[in-house]
Amino acid sequence: MRMRGLVGMRMMAVAAVALMLTGCLLFPGKFAADMTVMRGGGFSFAYKGDIHLLGLSQLIAMGAALDDKGAEFTPGPCYGEPAEVDAAVLKTAFAQDEEGWAEEALERECTPSEIETQKQAWDDQRAAKKAEDAKNIEIAKALLGGIDPTSPDAIDEFIVRIKKQKGWREVIHKGDGLFSVDYAVSGRIDQDYSFPTIERVQGISPFVVATARTNNAVRIDAPAFIGAGQSSLLGGNMGGLMSLFAAIGASSDGPEGKLLASMPKAEGSFTIRTDGEILTNNTEDGPSGSGALRVLEWKVNARRDRAPEALIMLNPA
């Protein structure tokens, strides 16, 4: 395995953990979410669809790499300066590049000293990667409330913990950190509410949050429901991560770019029903009627670049 591959793997690991640390542990996938808010203060919320646990496969790979004793060093090419190569090589170099030296034509066998230097650099890089991976796994373990993501029982522990909480009617792991869930809960909106919350798990940015105001209004935001990239979950845009990749010279077709491209995208619908007074909302068409209720609906797809939001007035206190 060459040093370039090790660097790419390390940056993928750093990117995954960095995203988790910014509060992006869970992402929505394909889904349907519904919320009903009544003037009297009662509410219900349901989410049915996919939830992604970000970076799980990368974390599992980190754990496997810690015990990997089969990696082999492969020397890289060495190149000579013009004074160090013979006339035949120089003639070939000039023939291949009329404007200057064709560096690939100057490739030569490495000296034992050069190979030893490469090997030492490879060993140092590999040791640094293992240390970084071990550190990142401990960080992820803390974020997951003590669950070791590299353990073969991690998913079962995660599901057991979730299903202890009210509302989680079904949680099925479909592989590689993708869960199919059926969630529904009801109660009163006299206090703030957010979804999802998972016992002892840190760093979760809410998909939906309802904030109860002192004037008996309720503000509802769905910061995760943006299909045009996970902008809200990453602090408003993808700029931070893109800047990181640019700083290290990562290309779009490299491992870091592939990690970015493979991140889940929200796709589905979010509906709010209420008999309260809708003060503000950012739907495209405004409220529609459904019996005694007014209905707000947002289609979440690749074209949506604003998170759903609404302000609803309930009965005066």
Q: Would you kindly state where each structural domain of the chain is located, as residue ranges?
A: 10-54+149-313, 78-109
Q: Mind listing the pLDDT tens digit for each residue in 51-74?
A: 988 766 666 666 666 666 667 888
| CA dist., res. 231 & res. 27, Å (int) | 11
Residue 22: predicted pLDDT? 46
Question: 168, 135 in Cβ contact below 8 A?
Answer: no
pLDDT at 314: 94
Read off the pLDDT band of 233 (50, 70, 90): very low
Contacts of 224 by beta carbon, 8 Å cutoff, 6+ apart: 27, 28, 205, 206, 207, 208, 230, 232, 233, 266, 307
The residue ranking higher by pLDDT, 122 or 193, is 193
Which residue in 293, 281, 316 sits closest to 43, CA to CA?
Answer: 293
pLDDT attached to residue 244: 42
Which of the residue ranges 127-131, 140-144, 246-250 has the most confident prediction, judged by mean pLDDT?
127-131
CB 179 within 8 A of CB 200: no
**Per-residue confidence band for 149, with pLDDT thresholds at 50, 70 and 90:** confident
Quick one: average pLDDT of 144-155?
83
* 26-30, 75-79, 286-290: the lowest-pLDDT one: 75-79
Q: Which own/partner contact pairs does 161-168 have at CB distance under 8 Å and 24+ positions apart?
A: 161/198, 161/199, 161/200, 161/201, 162/198, 164/199, 165/197, 165/198, 165/199
Selection from 43-57, 61-75, 76-90 with the highest mean pLDDT: 43-57
Q: Is 276 exposed, middle or buried (0-12, 13-18, 19+ CB in 10 A)?
A: buried
Q: What is the pLDDT of residues 164-173, one digit of tens each?
A: 999 999 999 9
Q: Of 76-90, 124-138, 152-166, which gets the smallest average pLDDT?
A: 76-90
Q: Give the pLDDT band (50/70/90) at residue 235.
A: very low
Query: Could you give the 3-state DSSP secondary structure of residue 275?
Result: coil
Reported in sequence order, the residue ranges of the chain that DSSP labels E, i.e. its strands, are: 26-37, 42-53, 78-79, 107-108, 168-175, 178-188, 193-195, 208-212, 217-221, 267-274, 277-281, 288-290, 293-300, 309-313
Rounded Cα distance between 89 and 103, Å, is 11
3-state secondary structure of 167: coil
Residue 233 contacts by C-beta under 8 Å, 6 or more apart in sequence?
Answer: 23, 24, 27, 205, 223, 224
- Average pLDDT score over residue span 118-130: 87
Mean pLDDT throughout 253-277?
78
Confidence at residue 148, expressed as pLDDT on a 0 to 100 scale: 83
Mean per-residue pLDDT for 149-170? Answer: 90
**Cβ-contact 157, 164 below 8 angstroms:** no
Indicate whether 187 pLDDT > 90: yes
Q: If you average pLDDT over residues 148-164, what whole number do you get?
A: 88
| Structure token pair of residue 297 | 């609906």
